């Protein structure tokens, strides 16, 4: 019985620590990405998310609108701007001419690599404040978290 109570306490504590840590951490990461995207690369947060989704395989205006929960005309406007800036290109599907596929250009990929590289370096600098044992414990904790998610 005591092991069950202890286990419940540990679980509640783990959940509390998660909620105290993860949302503020994620907001901090998002703020950094926003700062890099907007200030260094002159793209809006919405444009960044569109580029990120295309890079992850969402390759049509319909898919982007659905994932972002934004109207197709609003997505189309952002896509048009990104095409004009040379960050994405459109191709017509030869099997279904109604389907227009979106892909990142070399410049679009380079921009995303730069934003993610900058963010990775920023995170490395933050993690460098931890000891080797703390880094190992953190990595182990993240591996454990991935298992339950």
In 10 A of CB 36, how many CB atoms?
A: 19
Rounded CA separation 46/42 (Å)? 12
> Per-residue pLDDT tens for 95-119?
877 788 999 999 999 999 999 999 9
pLDDT at 3 over 90: no
Identify the residue with better confidence: 134 or 149. 134
The domains found in the chain, sorted by start residue, are 2-148 (1.10.10.10)
For 25-48, the pLDDT digits (tens) are: 989 988 998 889 888 899 998 899
């Amino acid at each position: 019985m005591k092991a069950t109570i202890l286990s419940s306490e540990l679980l509640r504590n783990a959940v509390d620590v998660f909620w105290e840590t993860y949302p503020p951490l994620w907001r901090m990461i998002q703020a950094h990405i926003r700062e890099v995207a907007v200030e260094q690369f002159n793209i809006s947060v919405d444009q960044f998310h569109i580029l990120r989704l295309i890079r992850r395989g969402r390759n049509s205006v319909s898919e982007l609108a659905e994932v972002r929960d934004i109207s197709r005309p609003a997505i189309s406007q952002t896509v048009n701007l990104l095409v004009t800036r040379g960050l994405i290109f459109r191709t017509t599907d030869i099997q279904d001419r109604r389907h227009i596929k979106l892909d990142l250009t070399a410049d679009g990929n380079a921009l995303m690599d730069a934003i993610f590289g900058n963010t990775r370096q920023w995170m490395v600098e933050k993690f460098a404040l931890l000891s080797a044992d703390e880094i190992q414990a953190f990595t182990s904790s993240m591996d454990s978290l991935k298992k339950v998610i």
